[in-house]
Amino acid sequence: MSEIREHTRLTKDERDRRVLELCEQVSEIEQRLIPTGLHVFGRASVEAERADLLRMVASFDRPETGARALPQLIAEGLSVNTTSPPDEAATELSEQSLRAREQVEALTREAVGRFLREGSDAACAWLETAARVDVVESRRVFAVLEKIAAQLLDNRELDAFARALRGEYIEPGPGADIVQNPSILPTGRNTHAVNPYSVPSDLAYARAERLVKLLLERHRAEHGRYPAALALVLWGLDNIKTQGEGVAQALWLLGVRPLRDGMNRVTDVEAIPLEQLGRPRIDVVMTVSGIFRDLFGATMGLLDRAVQCVAALDEPPEANYVRRNIRARMEAEACPFEEAALRVFSNAAGNYGTNVNFMVMDSQWEADDTLADLFVTRKCFAYGRDAEGRALEGREARAALNGALARVEATYQNIDSFEIGITDVDHYFEYLGGVSKAVEKQSDARPAIYLSDALSREAKVRSVEETIRLETRTKTLNPKWYEGMLKHGFRGVAEIESHVANTFGWSATADAVDDWVYTEVAETFVLDEQMLERLRELNPHSARSLVARLLEAQGRGFWQAEAEMIERLRDIFTGLEDRIEGVA
């Protein structure tokens, strides 16, 4: 209560500002797209499910069709400004700007609603009246939506399955989510990756500039300086879907630009002059998934070249952290340049994953160091080339990775899609959590952990704690999400359990989960008797795992729970055990 009293002493302006900030936070949660169920192979989407998705699709420019973002068209029609250009000071948060944004959102929602109910013509006409949007422009937008809406109602997956079994040709198709790339429709196709020599695309490189700026400025705002080194997790997933935004981010951190050869393939880099860059070159330790390594073999070489290029620049140490860190390590440990300059690491060739997820899921670790060392054991294989130009092909270089991680102050991973969040799968905590734990051990300090959220009109950088709160609020604790899952019965319970387990993974690797998250999970799914009974009926095995995971969180000190709550959880756990074993 003392906190509240403190707030009441705020000035009127401070109070207004705090209200606006809370509005922002609430609307960020409210408007985040979440899956509200699972797909069943071959089943078409239901009309009612499409409105929010189509609105999101309409919120982006579609250069390939000439369609511009609908909210932008509306904002222009109304002569209001809702977005901030990347290089200018953002619009001050104000009641006025918030109202403008709400107005644009409401009109966008209404326009898409009208489109679904009455068709393109009606929606265009309405938009012209309500927001003075040029019909030529709005028609382009609805043409995109029309196509998607029709494709969503016509699922051919089972046909493709039957055709494939008859040995017919299955068309290839790109892989992404619909918002990123509507041409993933129709599904039922043989998904492909991208040509590694096309990466990063010009667009990806341009988008990465803004993101890297946000990332570095956020770190500076919180820590007073740029990170001496940053550990970057690179995956195939987002780099395929974004044509290499993660790769481009690495290049921007180092301060280099990609060069294309006469065949239009990215095969080299050149340094951006410091005066143009306007900040120091950041040292980047890249821990790369086995999948990225396989799919982007040529890019692995490019990233190593970028590091070597920056390391060779004759620049002052305060402007070139790569060179500074390499020098420091060579002097401190009498290690050769070649070893000190290794920055691109992945699994041993032919192997995948950090196993940190296996160890966490299977509760097989005791000390923090075990997870840190496991990450390094699995990821300490260097790629690139040696001084003689020979491919390294994954040379075991444990000391080199440990040495590079020892100077890291921040860890980071690019997230491209709302569809695969950091509590949806165990791979985010095994990689970003794993590398953060390894940094913590090598540098004796927990790094700042950041994630980007590139798939919104204005890309954002969040800390891992913020991201977990957002994921928890929009998914795990959100009735819209879990009721959607529970419609799928057995599998739905497993999904809920899996979200809790993945959240737990962030405690294990990054100590990034607030107590309240576990408390509310317990209250929502276990201590609510009706809910518990539903879970127990649908999938007693996953219900048991969920309770066991909560108890483990408390046991390992990740959750300061009240003793009484733990007692109740223990009783419930025993009851579930008995029921599964057939005792009760």
41 binds other proteins (CB under 8 A): yes
Residue in 579, 449, 568 with CA at minimum distance from that of residue 519: 568
According to DSSP, the residues that pair with 281 across neighbouring strands are 320
Selected binder of other proteins within 116, 130, 297, 523 (CB under 8 A): 297
Note whether 168 binds other proteins by CB under 8 A. Answer: yes
Q: Which stretch binds other proteins (CB under 8 A): 73-81, 244-252, 269-277, 452-460?
A: 452-460
CA proximity to 503, closest of 489, 524, 486: 524
Q: Which among 58-66, 246-254, 537-545, 561-569 is the span making contact with other proteins, rule CB under 8 A?
A: 537-545
Query: Least Å distance between CB 132 and other proteins?
Result: 26
Residues whose CB falls within 8 Å of the CB of residue 97, separated by 6 or more in sequence, listed in order: 81, 82, 91
Q: Which of 125, 143, 184, 531 binds other proteins (CB under 8 A)?
A: 184
The smaller minimum CB distance to other proteins, of residues 139 and 174, is found at 174
Distances (CA, A) of 575 to 245, 339, 490, 568: 49, 56, 19, 11
Minimum distance, C-beta of residue 540 to other proteins, in the bound complex (Å):
7
430 binds other proteins (CB under 8 A): no
- The answer to whether 189 and 172 are in contact (CB under 8 A) is yes
Query: Rule CB under 8 A: which of 202-231 touch other proteins?
Result: 214, 217-218, 220-221
# residues near other proteins by CB under 8 A: 178
**Interface with other proteins includes 493 (CB under 8 A)?**
yes
Residue 12 near other proteins by CB under 8 A: yes
Nearer to other proteins, 459 or 565 (CB): 459
Structure tokens at 525: 């799914």
Tell me the HSE value of 186 on the side-chain side, using a 13 A CA sphere.
17
Q: Which is nearer to other proteins, 72 or 467 (CB)?
A: 467
Backbone angles phi, psi at 31, to 5 degrees: -95, 5
Is the separation of the CB atoms in 158 and 41 below 8 Å?
A: yes
Quick check: 153 binds other proteins (CB under 8 A)?
Answer: no
CA distance 437 to 460: 24
545 and 466 Cβ atoms separated by less than 8 Å = no
How buried is 456 (Cβ within 10 angstroms: 0-12 exposed, 13-18 middle, 19+ buried)?
middle
Joined together, the tokens standing for residue 412 give 């980071």
Three-class SS of 297-338: HHHHHHHHHHHHHHHCCCCCCCCEHHHHHHHHHHHHHCCCHH
Quick one: 158 or 332, whose CB is closer to other proteins?
Answer: 158
Q: Which of residues 322-381 bind other proteins (CB under 8 A)?
A: 348-353, 355, 358-359, 361-362, 364-365, 374, 377-378, 380-381
Q: Does the protein bind other proteins through residue 116 (CB under 8 A)?
A: no
Check if the beta carbon of residue 192 is closer than 8 Å to that of residue 161: no
Sole binder of other proteins in the list 146, 268, 339, 552 (CB under 8 A):
268
| Tokens (6 digits) for 549 | 């995971």
Q: Does 94 bind other proteins (CB under 8 A)?
A: no
Residue 475 engages other proteins in binding (rule: CB under 8 A)? yes
Can you tell me which of 71, 77, 182, 196 binds other proteins, judged by CB under 8 A? 196
> Which of 146, 209, 338, 393 lies at the binding interface for other proteins (CB under 8 A)?
393
